[in-house]
Structure 1
Amino acid sequence: MQYDMTDFSKVLVSENDIGRKLDEMADAIRRDYEGQDLLLVGVLKGAVMVMADLARRMPPQVQMDWMAVSSYGSGTKSSGVVRILKDLDADLTGRHVLIVEDIIDSGVTLSWLLGNLRARGAASVEVAALLRKPKAAVVDVPVKYIGFDIPNDFVVGYGLDYAENYRTLPFVAILDPKVYEG
């Protein structure tokens, strides 16, 4: 597949690197949750790619559910206000929950989500994220499984978008400011 690479300043994480990191994360998750009732909770829309590829590396007994929360509008910065757009179908009582995220930016949304899911009676709630921007953190959020720490740039690909574009890229790249500063 060909891409217009002029839209990107730099490719940060290649498709091969993503696959290798997901293998490592899945191995650790399988070890840590062996014999337990694990529910993967994907955060829509960005985590679709991470969730699908991570879940395929899990035992067939691992279940999945989806939640959509948002602190973004159509721009490149978090608004800081968290809204539930789609809630979970599963009952979390007594279950081990692993939130699967594409990226941790400010931490505001994820901090809110951790508190919300813990209040629902889960046995445990942990986080797996492919990407984290340590310099963007406003709230310190504990992350049990982390793929890559990246710089505080606006990135797209592998589920991450700008105005609903670029999600299907198999890699993560810095979006060139000319694309969104127009």
Structure 2
Amino acid sequence: MRQDIERILIDRETIARRIRELGREIAEDLAGSIGDDGIMLVPVMTGSITFVADLMRELPLRMRIGLITASSYPGTSTTSQGVTLGGMHLPDSLEGRHVLIIDDILDSGRTIRRVRQEIESRSPQSVRSCVLLRKRLPEAMETPCEFVGFDIENEFVVGYGLDFDDYYRNLPDIGVLREDIIHATGTSR
């Protein structure tokens, strides 16, 4: 798998350091506003699984976890398609709760906007979003997202939960996938 990576974009130590900082930023932002019910984390599966596992350990807050499965990169596609929401493990009502949506990457903005719309339809007190990566694209930069780990260029990245055709999620660093690997599947960027 490592031979398929053009270069490491963000190494595991840098990721860990930034996640600790994000934990502090989120805790400071929510200080005083959350009550006994704490916060509801809503990770967007499957890409955010590694990120949310590490981030939640850095949040000194009482929390519950819900899940939403969403897909916007079917199969070997390297461009975001329409968002499909799959399984949702959320309370019917989020009334009065503070919700933090967590996703791996923000590029087209479609996934975060669609998930946020679904969450807001359940009447939470507040909704915030946190992504590990945000691409420097107009649609990404214009999509509301309160917490961002790293802003990156428009490259196809894998590792640390991010995949290509469901592979590479287990790489501990975030790397740029080699172009020939992408094109070998018959997909274009």
Q: TM-score, normalised by structure 2?
A: 0.88
Aligned-residue offset at 1:5: 3.1
Alignment partner, residue 28 of structure 2: 31
CA contact (8 A) 2:70 2:84 kept: yes
Indicate the SS of the match to 2:161. Answer: coil
CA contact (8 A) 2:39 2:61 kept: no
Alignment partner, residue 51 of structure 1: 52
Matches within 5 A, 1:56-135: 56-59=57-60, 61-74=62-75, 75-79=77-81, 81-90=82-91, 91-135=93-137
Residue segments in structure 2 that go unaligned for 5+ positions in a row: 185-189
Deviations 1:8-27 (A, max 9, x none): 11111110000000000000
Aligned-residue offset at 1:108: 1.3
Q: TM-score, normalised by structure 1?
A: 0.92
Distance (whole Å) between structure 1 residues aligned to residue 88 and residue 141 of structure 2? 23
The one of 165, 175, 178 equivalent to 1:163 is 165
Residue segments in structure 1 that go unaligned for 5+ positions in a row: none
Distance (whole Å) between structure 2 residues aligned to residue 19 and residue 139 of structure 1? 24
CA contact (8 A) 2:104 2:133 kept: yes
Indicate the SS of the match to 2:72. Answer: strand
Aligned-residue offset at 1:88: 2.7
Aligned-residue offset at 1:60: 5.7
Alignment partner, residue 14 of structure 2: 17
Percent of counterpart pairs with the same letter?
A: 35
Number of aligned pairs? 178
Deviations 1:104-150 (A, max 9, x none): 01101211211221121011111111100022626821111111011
CA contact (8 A) 2:39 2:63 kept: yes
Cα 1:60–1:144 shift into 2, 3 Å: closer
Indicate the SS of the match to 1:137. Answer: helix
Deviations 1:34-75 (A, max 9, x none): 351211110000000010000111236212111001122112
Cα 1:14–1:98 shift into 2, 3 Å: same
Aligned Cα root-mean-square deviation (Å):
1.6
